[in-house]
Amino acid sequence: MVQTAVSIKEEFLNKIDEKTAIIGVIGLGYVGLPLLNCFVEKGFQSVGFDIDDSKVRALSDGKSYIKHIPSSRIQQAVSSGKFRATTDYSELDKCDAILMAVPTPLNKNREPDMSYVEATCEEVSKHMRPGQIIILESTTYPGTTDELMVPILEKSGLKVNKDFYVAFSPEREDPNNPNYTTETIPKVVGATSPDGLEVAEKLYQQIVVNTVPVSSTKAAEATKLMENIFRSVNIALVNELKVTFMKMGIDIWEVIEAAKTKPFGYMPFYPGPGLGGHCIPIDPFYLTWKAREYGIATRFIELAGEINTAMPEFVVTRAMEVLNEQGKALRGSKILLLGLAYKANVDDDRESPSYRIMELLEDKGAQVDYNDPYVPVIRPSREYPHYAGRKSQDISNEYDLVIITTPHDEYKSFDFSNVTVPILDTRNVVQGNGVKVYKA
């Protein structure tokens, strides 16, 4: 008997209701691992896929490699009998839903690098069967799901919206945010058909507080970009104001605190040494790239990118000025960076501006160490492989300058009164008297 699209949908919805649907998650990083845990904790048999064998081994042993996800949660998932991790992609044919959370970086020309999505879709297409739904969670340009994913998946010989469904639901993870978790953040969902949307919504409704359906995968892809472009532009604005106010002798942090008292028409954003993380430094350029296909120049977005990208150079210039006040040159000076993670209280150092600051300082002849309680050893990365293996150093007076680049709670509570060398604070961390503190 040939299975119709209607019967595929009804069978899938029944599997969700009965919790017999098997969930597969590809990419067990900051997005995929929490997603997998959520389905397990709601009673669904779930399989995690990753090409990194060390991650699979750690999870199989009940160990977490992400700081804000405790190992106890992994151990509980494993002991439930509903959680497995594997590098064997042939097991994808056992999964009813396949959720993809793979990297979507930029290449050296700041153009989308879709190689991870393409390779994953190629692998999925080898192990597809009728009745599945494939959902992309990785942030990308509008049109990726329809124009890139579907043709690759149809190499399986199956037809979208007839034999299988495809959807896009952008991740909204904010690692270590105490107020919002995967379960409590509404989930935007778009699909290539009404039936696919119904299935995708029903699936996510099992684990999140509510879903937000949109008319298409393009609308869902654009939603994620809008969210992060909003942040990028506003952070660029406050970074530009920081530089301007500093020239005027005005403390931007004081101004922000005063502006925050207005109960309407204002939302606080905070300056820093540059942008980091897996979203905000990258996502806006996905839209600028795609917009060129339509003859559109996204000048506002690109200007914000230029301002934010230039902030590490501003920090290095301020470092030179501070050292000059001490009668020292940057070349030959010993500098300690406080913080490699891109944001406070996480071990996520992807796209962290601290690496660019370190590189710029060393290019000018400085000797640079770092301290970060969340990144004890620098892991290999695509952008800065030469820093892999460096270890966190203690805060001491052996340096000529200390630069605070990440506002970890450990730094906010640290007694800097014993630090006799000048401190360049890019995050407004140091409060108190008797410390040589400079702003950047």
Q: Catalytic residues, which ones?
A: 279
Q: Is 338 exposed, middle or buried (0-12, 13-18, 19+ CB in 10 A)?
A: buried
Q: Which residues contact 233 (CB under 8 A, 6 or more apart)?
A: 300, 301, 304
User: Among 101, 424, 411, 398, which residue's Cα sits nearest to residue 273?
Assistant: 424
Locate 41 and state its tokens.
């904790």
User: Among 20, 39, 14, 22, which residue's Cα sits nearest to residue 129?
Assistant: 22
Task: Please spell the DSSP secondary structure of 392-419, one letter per residue.
Answer: -----TTSSEEEE-S--HHHHTS-GGG-
Residue 338, SS3?
Answer: strand
Tokens 């600051």 — which residue? 357
Dist. CA 136–CA 251, nearest whole Å: 43
User: Among 338, 307, 321, 325, which residue's Cα sits nearest to residue 243?
Assistant: 307
Distances (CA, A) of 407 to 54, 95, 240, 412: 30, 42, 20, 7
Locate 368 and state its tokens.
């640079």
